[in-house]
Structure 1
Amino acid sequence: MKSLKFRQQIVFWANQFHGRDEKGLTMGNCIKRNRYKAIYAALFGVILIDQSAAADNGTTSMRLEEIIVTAQKRQESLQDVGIAVTAFSGDEIKKLKLTTSVEVAAQTPNLNINQAFANSVPQIFIRGVGLKDPNANATGAVGIYVDDVNLVSPMALTFQLFDIDRVEVLKGPQGTLYGRNTTGGAVKFIATKPTEELEGYLRAGFGNYSSFQFEGAVSGQLTDNLNGRISVVSNQADGFHDNRVTGNDLGDTDALALRALFDWQVSDNVDVLLNIHGGRTDSSSVPFEHSGRVDLAGNPCDPRAATCYDFLGYRDNDNDIYDHDIDFEGKTELDNAGASLEVNLDFKGFQVTSISAYENSKRKHREDADASPNNVLNTYWDDENKQFSQELRISSNSESALSWIVGGFYSKEENDISNQYDFFRGFRELVESEDPIAFPGGFDPDGVNSLGVTPFYVDQWFSQEGESYAFFAHSKWDFSDRFSLIAGIRYTKEEREMEQITAFVEPTFALPIVPFYSDDKDFDNLSGKLGIEFKPNEDWLFYGNVSTGFKSGGYNGALVFDTASLKPFDEETLTSYEVGFKSTLLGGRARLNVAAFHYKYEDMQLFTFASVGGLPVQVLDNAGESSITGFEAELDLLLTERLDIRLGLGLLDTELDKYDTAISGGDLSGNELVLSPEVSFNGRVRYEWPLKELGTLALQTDFNYQDDIFLTPDNSTLLSQESYWLWNARVSFTSIDERWNISGWIKNIEDKEYLAEAYDFSSNGWDLLIHGTPQTYGVDITFSF
């Protein structure tokens, strides 16, 4: 039944794109149908005209630019790497106006990034593999690397994209070369390196919501053998949320980031690269939208079929997802700073690389967690993460048939979490009143209300330390002119220690709910990869891989009310079976890369909300078994000298095969995995007109389609998002000397409303929703030198 549904969904998606219903019949929505027809007519009209012109001119030398990646920790052409990789050049990032790390997902098949708590802890999924846990000690299943340094803390994962050379999205477990916490894959961000020649750029951008962005970089030679590059970006904007209680805008942006790179060529065979970077965000929190889940009698209620409230009788009734009634306006402060030192030593036949890095991340986050004008639940999160890592590897650099990498890795991290949860502060006086007023929804403020909850203030302190050791080896053997064998292995050992105390500050004056508790646990794993590649000629590569991934276990850093909830969860493992091909077609004018895969997912770490004694409890444990099957295709096509197209398609079939736990709501077996649309589709079309001696005018549209997704493991249709399209457009002019560029852009052209995140608090009378960004537009001016 599952596979039939999967095939039916593909047919439905194709019909929807062409303006037909599930049976292939014409829809009643003529506007949508005509819009697609207009796009087709315009696109193919331009193709025919421009191809005719090209034929008249005898143009035959058009080729796509080669993309060089370091997905396997050595420089290779994207078309020679036998794994699924989506890569973006720095120029492509600018054209798509990708300004933050989370925006890469819009143009990457089967990559989903969830925006939680003002983007302070994004949750990243590749091919349905990830961890949807908003707590500061939660390490995801997708590794994030900036200049080959793994960022462990989720607080460090939302950063601005500026002065970037390229982005690489590696899909599937990367257990051999990248190690722990890459069950789903890895995303690599590579900064532009210093140059010997003096160069740089300045960019200023203006847009709606009073947005202003400034970005700049300067690079050049400092001494005979030392080059430097300094980059900066500042981003400011008003919020697009309104608080009707105070009249204030909410969700504003005020962010600053800097980076300094120094490349020292010590000698002909020794190179040292120092990276110093930091960033700060100081913004008001993006507020939750309130969704009531009980009627006035306190009975469960479906807001799609009836008028629903929370248990105090409040409901948000204006149907505007960006208007709110909150009594407590939150704030988010994020500070990230770090440095890395990369040393490369070249010898005859091999190269030694050492990467040492330190990162520090701090977060102060305040949130109105009831999303109402009643002071029911306010949260205060103060978190800090420190990490040190050291990688040492030796790799071959000769032209022999056998290439290899061996190395070791060490990391140490510390998490300090100090959180406060304030329940029912606004009703303390009513609790003590001799003549309390009556509330709808069954609330009785007589010391203990009808739901069995009394006003209280909880203080949580949580500390977690971890150390990781790994040794790895990876090799590729060209055993014939056309065939290669790939093999890799990695041993990882991790040690985790935790301490926690949770106490009532009021009304029982620090009486512990959970007295001082400490524990430690070790995890180890042997991951590997075995693959084969067949390259019949320079334009085709066929590959097949079997690989495994590992994500260590740990401890739940959420608010808990008993020591049983602090038991460690186990490691998760994934075995991937993948086949694919990479092709260069039409004499270099097209690239078509395709991959199909099947995953066996064991002990998947799963985060859920549950109700224990009327209180929202965050549960983090292991699901028994899950399975994922999918397909990806990416096409880059240079139709003419002026017109190029980039398209991506992702298909997923996910299932939670076995998961039965009483605390998180019973048996969830058979459910789909969260943030795993069955169909995703993205693309970009760009057309350029040379304007004689003036320069070049370019028109561009990009889009992405996402199928239905569930945002909670129980597959609640109330907390899900139906399929939708997002369209963007851009027009730009570049001067003939390429020094000046002015661009006008618009994102979310149709001002589409869509649900980006949701939390199930229904056992307490409400759900919390976060919607995506509305329509934005602006102008950018760039000067390069």
Structure 2
Amino acid sequence: MTCQGEDPKVEEMEMCRIAWKGFALTMALVGPALSGSALAQEETRADEEIAYDTVVVTAQRREQSLQDVPVAVSAFSADQLKNNNVETIQDLALRTPGLTVGAADPIQNNFSLRGIGTANGISQNAGGDGSVVVFVDGVYAGRGGTMDLDVLDLERVEVLRGPQGTLFGKNAIGGLIQFVSRKPSDERSFYIEGTAGNYDKYNLVVRGNVPLSDKVFLSGGISHKQRDGYEFNETTGNDVNDQDMTTARAALRFLPSENLDIILRADISTQDQAGNPRDNICNEDFNTGVHCVGVNPDPRIVNAYTDGQIFRQISSYSGEINWDLGYGTLTSLTALRDVKYKFRTPFFSNPVNPPTQIESTDFGWEDATQFSQEIRYAFEALNDRLQGQVGLYYLDEDIDRLQGQIQDFPAPAQTGTAIYPQSVTASSFAVFGQFDYDLTERLTATVGARMTWEEKEGRFAGMKVSGPGLPPPLGSLEGYDVNASEEWEAFTPRFALNWQAADNVMVYASAARGYKSGGFQGLSGTDAGASTPYDPEFAWGYELGAKTEWFQRRLTLNAALFKTDYEDLQISQLVPLCCVVVSNAAEAQIKGLEVEFVGRVSENFRIDGSYSYLDTEFVEYQIPGSDYTGNELPRSPANKYNIGAQYEMPVGEWRALVRVDYSWVDDAYFEASNVASQLWPAHDNLDARLTLTLPDERWEVSFWGKNLTDELVPTYVTYFGPFQQTLVPYAPPRTYGVTLSLSM
């Protein structure tokens, strides 16, 4: 790549500009730490490195040091999650480069990673899937989200960025989030934690581990969380967007012999709370039409005729067997997952001329059952120069869903109720393998591939159940009831070279292809729309990265420069008074830079952070009546960074740990149209935590605050152009509280 000369190529200059910008910001962030570390190095013998635990990840389905993995990975240990106030995936996103999380409601997350995300509404219908997926202890969590993180007794969380189409496969076209819990062990332990905070927040978490014999170990936990709502519904007089959630989990581990390890896991989570009616944004810049008359200007006050409801129950059961055969390890992972979900969301509900109201409500339920079976064989050969994995994967999903819409407008032709029953059966089968071969002592080549065969079939219907008028998006008075099916296949290879340039410097280059399943549009206005499938998405990701440690391991500095060619994007387009139409309408190109660092200034003082830059563009996107070519991809902020500082010190016989985290996210658009009314404004976030540990190191008390600047951040935007109507839910306001815990 040429950065200087008489006539450098435009694309090369752009990549150079990205690289220089990232380098400059990195130096600005870590410069003080570098200076302090350099001085310390001059006065420190080579054998006096600051001691810290090696971060172990399973980004390649086997345990490796984070610094040895030729993949862009952010890893958070259990202590980091606690000290950083991470309770939700949204908290995780603030601290992860390239990751953003929107939310239609408190449990329907919408991920975007390196610019690749799920178009609004696709993953919420029975025939659609997400572009960034979640795995819990190796099990694909396809629908319904994840359970409460606290009860998982997490060992770590990993975020893998870029297409992961070989070892993880299904739908990880943008990347994945992996939750890894602690395995039951022979160490007896007990942990209890209670939290109280504003909005009448009360949490209780209890976890424990006990050996039943020298070969059988049991661990388990239970968590309950509740609080009042963040918003107030003027019409009903009740708080909305509250929380009421209970989760339980158990794991049983058998070690019948030295070479056999069996783990059985079970968990259940129940959540039942009020909904979060949308706020109608009305200001001097836009939205000054009739629908803003009588609207309370306070964004935390809504005017909905009902509070709505969110109910979710997740049950998951899995069995993992690891059998050491001497010449390799055979792993079997069997899982059954069931998600029940009900919702009622008033998303368009405001006075026109008080006391008259206009109402538009989404409601429905879903019951999704998932069975998966994976078999992997990992081995080493040729004097450990060759390390490989081969495997088979099978997934079966049965999804029954009913979604409905109620509209009560002044115009009778737009008043009525329509329902959209959906029933989908989906199956996926894959054969995969990946091999690492040491070409020399310092140079390793990786080759992998996955072949996937998928099928989806279902029944889709739409019908009016009350009138007088025809509520959109139903396009015909007769309604429809159709059957449809489709098959797809995908080949997703991966190639990589990693070079151990020095003991603490590894450089790698990779190319990987990702794949996301096709599907059906469950909420369609016509029978043709319901029975016509949309095709899979594909992305080739190219990455050049480095994993480095400097100054007696006082500074860890990792970086990745990447480019993604993204084709056949599944785009959803809201057609006012009609429907959400999904089609493979676009191609895109994404370029970017990511930097992560940890500076260990002393044994007691640590700073860390990350920066990501994204340059996204639809290189082709045309639909009837609109041309979005050249626009930015949704939920893709150009700049995003976070920085945290942590200091630990004695206070008499006690120990104090102070942690402050600041993050900033550039503005971005929620939709491909890139109109100002769908702008996700730039925003920052400030969290802090003070933890005091008693002398016996069993008791801890923590004082914490989140979003201390009380930033008002939309998590989702719906814009109805003809009515000048912008509807949004918001992220939590400023919260604070105290947590008391006991470890034994």
Normalising by structure 2, report the TM-score: 0.91
Aligned in 2, Cα 1:50/1:721: closer, same or farther, shift over 3 Å?
Answer: same
Q: The residue matched to 2:248 in structure 1 has which SS?
A: strand
Q: The residue matched to 1:754 in structure 2 has which SS?
A: coil
Which residue matches 2:740?
781
Letter in 2 for 1:108: T
Which residue matches 1:98?
86
Distance 1:396 1:284 in 2: 51
Note if 1:770 corresponds to 2:737.
Answer: no
Which residue matches 1:29?
none
Cα shift at 1:750: 1.1
Q: The residue matched to 1:376 in structure 2 has which SS?
A: strand
Partner residue of 2:149 out of 137, 145, 160? 160
Distance 1:754 1:6 in 2: 31
Contact conserved, 2:287 with 2:725, CA < 8 A, in 1? no
Matches within 5 A, 1:495-514: 495-507=455-467, 513-514=478-479
Contact conserved, 2:568 with 2:587, CA < 8 A, in 1? yes
Matches within 5 A, 1:58-457: 60-117=48-105, 119-134=106-121, 135-137=124-126, 138-153=128-143, 155-157=144-146, 159-162=148-151, 163-291=153-281, 303-305=283-285, 308-310=288-290, 314-318=293-297, 320-373=298-351, 374-397=357-380, 400-424=384-408, 445=411, 448=412, 453-457=413-417
Post-superposition CA distance 1:398-417 (Å, at most 9, x none): 66100000000000001111
Post-superposition CA distance 1:66-122 (Å, at most 9, x none): 1001110111100110110000001100111211233211110001111112x2221
Q: The residue matched to 1:757 in structure 2 has which SS?
A: coil
Which residue matches 1:33?
none
Aligned in 2, Cα 1:222/1:765: closer, same or farther, shift over 3 Å?
Answer: same
Partner residue of 2:453 out of 493, 515, 519? 493
Partner residue of 1:680 out of 634, 640, 659? 640
Cα shift at 1:8: 9.0
Note if 1:605 corresponds to 2:570.
Answer: yes
Q: The residue matched to 1:763 in structure 2 has which SS?
A: helix
Post-superposition CA distance 1:362-399 (Å, at most 9, x none): 11101112132424212211111110000001111566
Post-superposition CA distance 1:129-186 (Å, at most 9, x none): 1103332433111121000000111x22464343111001111111110112010011
Contact conserved, 1:172 with 1:184, CA < 8 A, in 2? yes
Cα shift at 1:765: 5.0
Contact conserved, 2:315 with 2:338, CA < 8 A, in 1? yes
Contact conserved, 2:280 with 2:725, CA < 8 A, in 1? yes
Partner residue of 2:489 out of 521, 524, 549? 524
Which residue matches 1:433?
none
Which residue matches 2:609?
647
Letter in 1 for 2:453: K
Distance 1:213 1:104 in 2: 20
Letter in 2 for 1:88: F
Letter in 1 for 2:63: Q
Post-superposition CA distance 1:684-743 (Å, at most 9, x none): 110111235x13111110011101110111011111123222111111111233211111
Distance 1:3 1:476 in 2: 31
Which residue matches 1:576?
541
Aligned in 2, Cα 1:729/1:555: closer, same or farther, shift over 3 Å?
Answer: same
Normalising by structure 1, report the TM-score: 0.87
Letter in 1 for 2:326: K
Partner residue of 1:556 out of 499, 516, 521? 521
Which residue matches 1:659?
621
Letter in 2 for 1:168: E
Partner residue of 2:437 out of 477, 485, 490? 477
Distance 1:771 1:7 in 2: 37
Note if 1:593 corresponds to 2:552.
Answer: no
Cα shift at 1:268: 1.3
Aligned in 2, Cα 1:245/1:215: closer, same or farther, shift over 3 Å?
Answer: same
Distance 1:54 1:524 in 2: 58
Distance 2:609 2:642 in 1: 6
Aligned in 2, Cα 1:5/1:773: closer, same or farther, shift over 3 Å?
Answer: farther
Q: Please, what is the CA RMSD of the aligned residues?
A: 2.9
Contact conserved, 2:147 with 2:269, CA < 8 A, in 1? no
Distance 2:204 2:505 in 1: 43
Letter in 1 for 2:139: V
Distance 1:592 1:83 in 2: 14
Distance 1:316 1:4 in 2: 49
Post-superposition CA distance 1:566-594 (Å, at most 9, x none): 41101110001111110111112221111
Q: The residue matched to 1:156 in structure 2 has which SS?
A: coil
Deviates more, 1:757-766 or 1:668-677: 757-766
Aligned in 2, Cα 1:274/1:324: closer, same or farther, shift over 3 Å?
Answer: same
Letter in 1 for 2:378: S
Post-superposition CA distance 1:221-280 (Å, at most 9, x none): 012311010011111111110112232111110011111011111211111100100101
Distance 2:477 2:260 in 1: 57
Cα shift at 1:54: 12
Which residue matches 2:675?
716
Distance 1:261 1:363 in 2: 25
Cα shift at 1:772: 1.9
Cα shift at 1:308: 1.1
Post-superposition CA distance 1:658-684 (Å, at most 9, x none): 11112xx51111110011011110121
Contact conserved, 1:683 with 1:704, CA < 8 A, in 2? yes
Cα shift at 1:213: 0.8
Letter in 2 for 1:587: Q
Contact conserved, 1:100 with 1:161, CA < 8 A, in 2? no
Letter in 2 for 1:420: G
Distance 2:26 2:555 in 1: 24
Letter in 2 for 1:281: Q
Which residue matches 2:4?
none
Distance 1:15 1:57 in 2: 30
Contact conserved, 1:6 with 1:678, CA < 8 A, in 2? no
Which residue matches 2:580?
618
Aligned in 2, Cα 1:217/1:404: closer, same or farther, shift over 3 Å?
Answer: same
Letter in 1 for 2:70: G
Post-superposition CA distance 1:297-348 (Å, at most 9, x none): xxxxxx443671345x635242x11011111211100110010000111011
Post-superposition CA distance 1:197-241 (Å, at most 9, x none): 211211101100000111121102012311010011111111110
Aligned in 2, Cα 1:125/1:257: closer, same or farther, shift over 3 Å?
Answer: same
Post-superposition CA distance 1:425-479 (Å, at most 9, x none): xx6xxxxxxxxxxxxxxx5x5xx4xxxx342211211111100000001000001
Contact conserved, 1:64 with 1:638, CA < 8 A, in 2? no
Percent identical among aligned pairs is 27
Aligned in 2, Cα 1:3/1:249: closer, same or farther, shift over 3 Å?
Answer: farther
Aligned in 2, Cα 1:560/1:171: closer, same or farther, shift over 3 Å?
Answer: same
Distance 2:220 2:287 in 1: 56
Contact conserved, 1:232 with 1:259, CA < 8 A, in 2? yes
Distance 2:107 2:230 in 1: 18
Contact conserved, 1:261 with 1:273, CA < 8 A, in 2? yes
Distance 1:57 1:603 in 2: 56
Structure 1 unpaired stretches of 5+: 19-35, 293-302, 428-442
Contact conserved, 2:407 with 2:417, CA < 8 A, in 1? yes
Distance 1:206 1:10 in 2: 45
Which residue matches 2:689?
730
Which residue matches 1:439?
none
